[in-house]
Amino acid sequence: MDFSSFVTSLGTSLIIFVVLMLAFTWLNRKPGNAVIYYPNRILRGLDPLEGRTVTRNPLAWIKEAVKASEADVIAVAGVDAAVYLVFLSSVLAILVFSGIILLPVLLPVAATDNGTQSTTDSNSQGTFKNLDKLTMGHIQESSSRLWAFLLGVYWVSFVTYYVLWKSYTHVSDLRAGAKTSAVVKPEEFAVLVRDIPAAPPGQSMKDHVDSYFRALHPETFYKSMVVTDNKKANKIWEEIEGYRKKLARAEVVYAESKTTGKPEGTRPTNKTGFLGLVGPKVDTIDHCNEKIQELLPKLEAEQNITLKEKQQGAALVFFCSKPAAVSASQTIHAQKIDTWTMMEAPEPRQVLWTNLSKKFYEREIRSLIVYGIVFLTVCFYMIPIAFVSAFTTMENLKKYLPFLKKIVDQPEIKTVLEAYLPQIALLVFMALLPTLLMFLSKEEGIPSESHAVRAASGKYFYFIVFNVFLGVTIGGTLYASLKEIIKKPSQIITLLGSSLPKSATFFLTYVALKFFVGYGLELSRLVPLIIFHLKKKFLCKTEAEVKEAWAPSDFGYATRFPNDMLIVTIVLCYSVIAPIIIPFGVVYFGLGWLVARNQALKVYVPRYESNGRMWPHIHTRIVAALIVYQITMLGYIGILRKFYYATFMIPVIAISFIFAYVCKQRFYLAFFHTPLEVACQGTKEIPNMESIYAAYIPPCLSTEKLQDVDQFEDAHSHSLRTTSL
Amino acid sequence: MDFSSFVTSLGTSLIIFVVLMLAFTWLNRKPGNAVIYYPNRILRGLDPLEGRTVTRNPLAWIKEAVKASEADVIAVAGVDAAVYLVFLSSVLAILVFSGIILLPVLLPVAATDNGTQSTTDSNSQGTFKNLDKLTMGHIQESSSRLWAFLLGVYWVSFVTYYVLWKSYTHVSDLRAGAKTSAVVKPEEFAVLVRDIPAAPPGQSMKDHVDSYFRALHPETFYKSMVVTDNKKANKIWEEIEGYRKKLARAEVVYAESKTTGKPEGTRPTNKTGFLGLVGPKVDTIDHCNEKIQELLPKLEAEQNITLKEKQQGAALVFFCSKPAAVSASQTIHAQKIDTWTMMEAPEPRQVLWTNLSKKFYEREIRSLIVYGIVFLTVCFYMIPIAFVSAFTTMENLKKYLPFLKKIVDQPEIKTVLEAYLPQIALLVFMALLPTLLMFLSKEEGIPSESHAVRAASGKYFYFIVFNVFLGVTIGGTLYASLKEIIKKPSQIITLLGSSLPKSATFFLTYVALKFFVGYGLELSRLVPLIIFHLKKKFLCKTEAEVKEAWAPSDFGYATRFPNDMLIVTIVLCYSVIAPIIIPFGVVYFGLGWLVARNQALKVYVPRYESNGRMWPHIHTRIVAALIVYQITMLGYIGILRKFYYATFMIPVIAISFIFAYVCKQRFYLAFFHTPLEVACQGTKEIPNMESIYAAYIPPCLSTEKLQDVDQFEDAHSHSLRTTSL
């Protein structure tokens, strides 16, 4: 890629961004689009237009994003969103502090060196001079100017330690603050108990659990809810819900048909067979009503059976006070510690019910299998990416697809293609993966949605770093080099060091594409907007259906964090080799912070709240990226630039490990468990335990009739109304 | 070593054993020796002679040892001794079950193979035929008879899994049983809190701790005892105790002088200067009395200062019930988890006070440094041992010390020397180490004696396996091979496999020496007996001094476990190569079990009780020895015997790792913490909390006057008499 194609790429990205911003400013103001641009505010019952008509400024959203306080963000979007913003601002701070020193120092040091032109260190074959002059590749071998770059690594490292320490402390406080809030959260009074051994003969699981906890926590135990196998009940319940939706839709259709010519209207009909295409024709309204009437007693019967006979070896145990629940969740209960395993209960909305009853060793085996599959996926995905990145150079395209020659040889198309082809190939590959990883993570037997998201996010991170970063950097040579690496593992440092500079411009373009086009699309929400309008026009009949069409998603941390982490890794690794990447990183995270604030305040609705539980993982990964960076620099400066003082880099690598260890010791467990100090600080008054208990009843088991099932074998609680505190 | 020297070695060992046994039978019966042979019984106030005069049978002690039940052992010697016996009997069971199959199968398989004589596999150069015929070295390469040996490894492995699982379950029950006993143990109501942050200005540490725990455990907190820096008070107290002993001794001397000729007696005198050799002469009794009178008010003043001003950042916190203490010890208290770290309190008698106030990161750094030193020690000790084992072959002795030639050439001396020299060299080296390791372990900042013993035992185990087992086996070639191994780590398997058979007879002799001479000395207690009689005759004047002279030690687990573990490792590793070692192992552990029972019931007095906390480590080490054995066999059968089905060994290695993992998951944490289930089972009645509290007051701070210090700043408790439950 030569310099002009780099500028073209930046230019087109910028134009797309400006267009999207203008589209956003224009679309944003139409009241019909409010549900797309302000769904969060609408769902909270606020006026989406409030304070909007006065400004026609396309940058008004920036002012609003900056003005909001962190407390506002937490109130609207939860601690998780606030932690995501802390992540963005931390990285921003690291890059700004690094850039303040590195840019004015390293660029002149590199530019004024009149050393031999080492053209091999760049893929530009001498045509990319202007940028090349500003990189470390321009410095003579063994030059004492390399000291500046070595000290640059130290500066970046210490800035990172400082910022990360501050951020970890801040996030830790945020988490403690959220846990001490006066709002009663059901999960704070509940403990999830798994691996319950079989009940003694003649006793139901429910009684078994009750008697166990009543004996161990005589004063604080409230009651228990044994997890049941709801599969069948759930199926019936979903069937009923399906018919209800159909009924509502048919009634609207019928009502609409009335207003036109015929006052009696036409009753909608459908066929009962496969996909409504075959089978006898029936009146939809009557048919749905019949079906619902038919299924309701069935559901009730199934509910009874489920509660009585399908009790599983897991339970939610409720305690009368937060400290009691916290203590219980951290205390080993049984002498055989693979039974009665305790943990803090997840929020009701994010419990993965079917995973709860999976046994201890089953979970371990599932995890092992999933790791195996992920490992294979990482290796398997590497092949097409390496192939694409080797194939999509202009020369190869012309060589293998000669019929493209004419198109490709036109200078404009050539430039654009050259600039974007590899990146687009990459993005397409990436889009296919998250669903698979999320599915795999849930299969591990994880009890909550947020935990599954964390697990998927970790997998995605490893995937993306190995495949995109290493894949692109080492590229086609990786498989050839693999033999070499296995023979001599230290080879990887040399290989990475020598391959990095070659890919500098690729990653510069990648980062620019990501922030201009990525954030442009994110902010303008063009895709959800178009889908919503299409759905509203052609599909939706009832109010509920319209609402479903615009219902906003959440942040999607499973892919958002790893994608940002990839940029962190890239920018860190190039920060000293080609400091010119730092401003790109600053723009990425600065713009990212603004956009994310806007989306948090106005658009996304969190599906769960994990109180920043993601942070320790993010922290560890940033430190890991830092260590990769330091090791790469050791290899690059020491072996390729033949600067033997590079051994001075080894202490800073050791410091990184110590930093990671100290942070883990100081902060991690407080993210894993709730400290007693925090649990005791909250409100002291006893909340309505009944409503806390009811929050965990799955919808397919909750009917008004259920409360009459005041029987002995009931998996939920027979003391539903008898016991009261 | 040829066959005759092997037999000589066995024979002499046996003779020594028989002599020692006869000495034991004879000495045992003398009433004056009762304090040496029955100190445990005497201290418990039992009649040592009870039931003894009727039997003159030299094997009577065996009957008594077998007759006692496990409950008896626990009652007398504690759970730790019982667990040690479980360890011995488990290994015995493994060896017996293995031997039942391996001996009748493998010996004929080996003996009847008329393959090529591969003399290189034995250090006997063809003179050691009779034993050689019974080892695997006798089997032809790639012979299908090797299947029998391969299956032998499987049999040993599965026997080990089975026995270890049973034993772990049994020990786990023993531990739970001990923790639920009705006896009130102070440590069950106390929690050790370390890393307490600095108290807010104007508040003493004591108030800081009290207010913190009163807030978090309003209903169950009893009171706290802040750890103080007792160094100075302790010094004064020890000085006083010294003078008291001196006084008692002087009074006895004075009284004795009276009974002879002069009725007025001679008052003993001494010099006050260095070692009683210089300085003015004084009357000892008066001098001591003066000194004591002078020091007592000093001690009191120092006690006050200590309690008020020398409060440290650690405390013992007492709770009103066992479950409350257990819960508190397992619950994270602070948001910053490197502060207010909680753990179950150690027994009062085994608290290492000076370590309690060491800070979290200080402890980590100390551990790191200690590990470094231990690593160096392991490497450093290897050099002399390798040197000795190379030097002490007959040829080398004659070569380097020609003046010895005449002595050495006499056949009897030659045989004995050849049989014992290397082993004795080894034993001497071993004797110097435990003290160093114990000192290092305490320097790590460990809070209790039993934990320090465990840590020292672990270090000793690594040491002994690396140095004795690997050192002797690979011997002089190790350092030459080290380069090879670093280049290609898989080389170690080949090296170990090829070196093992050469050392078979060395280890046979080593095991025999250990059990015949070791157990002979252990049982006959010749060394303590001689020391006691010498002391009694020449040194002891007062009753207390005599008692001190015979006071029994404890089992000394820090060296006992690793020494036995070395034998386990040796016997396991040779079990298939030379199954003839199994009977030796059986005798070692069988005799060991009998002797240990005898000593537990009659001799040793435990210094602490850790309720079998050692077992998980022992379990892990037996599994580790099994894995070393399996890997060695893989190398030996696969590479050296060129039997390519040896890959069938890989699954069993994987199973070993899974077994270790499952055991850890199922049992380990219940050894680390006390499960709530166990804590709740004990007695429900509230014990005398005052006496529990008083049990932890260090002797140098406990005087009657102390109770008057009912002041605000008191590090112990100002609510000593005001608060009562």
Q: Say what the pLDDT of residue B162 is.
A: 96
Chain A neighbors of B326, CB-CB under 8 A? 331
pLDDT band at B398 (very low <50, low <70, confident <90, very high): low
Range in A382-391, B410-419, B568-577, B690-699 the model is least confident about: A382-391
Flag whether pLDDT at B442 surpasses 70.
Answer: yes
Instruction: Kindly report, residue by residue over B78-130, the tens digit of the pLDDT.
Output: 899 999 999 999 999 999 999 999 888 888 887 777 654 444 444 444 444 56
Is residue B215 within 8 angstroms of chain A, CB to CB?
yes
Residue B670 in contact with partner chain A when CB distance is under 8 A: yes
Judge whether residue A367 has pLDDT over 90: yes
Kindly list the domain boundaries of chain B, sorted by start residue: 3-182+361-677, 233-304
Cβ atoms A299, A226 nearer than 8 A: no
Residue B160 contacts residue B662 (beta carbons within 8 Å): no
**In the A/B pair of chains, how many CB contacts fall below 8 A?**
101
Query: For A51-65, A91-105, A193-207, A584-598, which range has the lowest pLDDT when averaged over its residues?
Result: A51-65
| pLDDT, position A397 | 62
Distance CA B367, CA B372 (A): 9
3-state SS assignment for residue A29: coil
Percentage above 90 pLDDT, chain A: 25
pLDDT range class, residue A233, cuts 50, 70, 90: confident
Distance CA B258, CA B267 (A): 9
Share of chain A above pLDDT 70, in %: 80
Q: Which residues pair with B311 in a beta bridge?
A: B228
> Is pLDDT above 70 for B656?
yes
- Inform me whether the C-beta atom of residue B658 falls under 8 Å from chain A C-beta atoms: no
**Chain B touched by A664 (CB under 8 Å):** no
Residue of B nearest to A173 (CA): B335
Report CA-CA distances (Å) from B71 to B78, B176, B178, B427, B679.
9, 14, 11, 35, 21
What one-character-per-residue DSSP string does B162-220 give? HHHHHHHHHHHHHHHHHHT-SS--GGGGEEEEE-PPPPPTT--HHHHHHHHHHHH-TTT
Residue B8 CA to residue B411 CA, distance in Å, equals 11
Q: What is the pLDDT of residues A28-58, one digit of tens each?
A: 888 888 888 888 888 888 776 665 554 567 7
Q: Mean pLDDT across chain B, nearest whole number?
A: 81
Residues of A in contact with B675 (CB under 8 A): 332-335, 337
Q: Nearest chain B residue to A329 by CA: give it.
A: B331
ipTM value for the complex: 0.82
Q: How far is B664 from chain A (nearest CA, A)?
A: 9
Cα separation, A629 vs A625, whole angstroms: 6
Cβ–Cβ under 8 Å, residues B404 and B398? yes
pLDDT of residue A479: 52
Name the DSSP letter for residue A345.
P
- Label residue B486 by pLDDT band (50, 70, 90): low
Q: How confident is the model at residue B625 (pLDDT cuts 50, 70, 90)?
A: very high
Instruction: Name chain A contacts of B361, Cβ cutoff 8 Å.
Output: 662, 665
**B172 near A CB under 8 A:** yes
Of B330, B334, B676, nearest to A216 by CB-CB distance is B676
> What residues in A contact B331, CB-CB < 8 Å?
326-327, 330-331, 673, 676
Contacts of A677 in chain B (CB under 8 A): 216, 333-335, 340
CB spacing of B216 vs A680 below 8 angstroms? yes
Helix (H) or strand (E) holding B701: none
Residue B709: count of CB within 10 angstroms of its CB: 19
Chain B nearest-CA distance from A207, in A, is: 17
What residue of A is the nearest CA neighbor of B676?
A333
pLDDT tens-place string over residues A550-589: 888 888 888 889 889 989 998 998 888 888 889 989 999 9
Residues of chain B with pLDDT > 90, as a percent, come to 25
Longest dimension (CA), chain B: 93
Give the residue-averaged pLDDT of A233-242.
88
Band (pLDDT 50/70/90 cuts) for residue B140 is confident
Identify the pLDDT of residue A121.
42
Q: Within an 8 Å CB–CB cutoff, is residue A343 touching chain B? A: no
What is the residue-averaged pLDDT of chain A?
A: 81
Residue whose entry in the numeric block shows the structure tokens 């697809």: A401
Strand partners, B194: B341
B675 in A contact zone (CB under 8 Å):
yes
Distance from CA of A165 to the nearest CA of B (A): 13
> Which residues does chain B have within 8 Å of residue A675's beta carbon, measured at their own beta carbons?
332-335, 337
For the ranges A114-128, A243-257, A615-629, which has the lowest average pLDDT?
A: A114-128
Q: What is the mean pLDDT of residues A335-357?
A: 90
Residues of B in contact with A665 (CB under 8 A): 337-338, 360-361, 364
- Specify whether the CB–CB gap between B463 and B377 falls below 8 A: yes
Check CB contact of A673 with chain B, cutoff 8 Å: yes
Q: Dihedral sign, CA of A591, A594, A597, A598?
A: negative
pLDDT of A212 above 50: yes
Position B422 pLDDT exceeds 90: no
**Chain A environment of B337 (Cβ under 8 Å):** 665-670, 675
Chain A interface includes B614 (CB < 8 A)? no
pLDDT at residue A717 is higher than 60: no
Please tell me which residue, A370 or B522, carries the higher pLDDT value: A370
Closest to A338 in 3D by CA, of B178, B656, B670: B670
Average pLDDT over residues B197-210: 89
- Does the pLDDT of residue B717 top 70, yes or no? no
The interaxial angle of helices A146-179 and A650-663, nearest 10 deg, is 0
Distance from CA of B654 to the nearest CA of A (A): 14
| CA separation for the pair B674, B678 (Å, rounded) | 7
Contact residues, chain A, for B680 at CB < 8 Å = 215-216
CB contact under 8 A, A337 and B677: no
Q: Where does the pLDDT of residue B590 fall: very low under 50, low under 70, confident under 90, or very high at 90 and above?
A: very high
pLDDT given at position A166: 96
Instruction: List the one residue out of B192, B328, B332 whose CA is nearest residue B676.
Output: B328
Is residue B662's pLDDT more than 90? Answer: yes
- % chain B with pLDDT above 70: 80
Rounded distance between C-alpha atoms, residue A477 and residue A499, angstroms: 9
Note whether B331 contacts A330, CB cutoff 8 Å: yes
- Least confident among A15-19, A247-251, A347-351, B496-500: B496-500
Tell me the mean pLDDT in the region B714-721: 46
Q: What is the pLDDT of residues B446-471, one digit of tens each?
A: 999 999 999 999 999 988 887 777 76
**How do residues A525-537 score in pLDDT, each as one tens digit?**
888 888 888 888 8
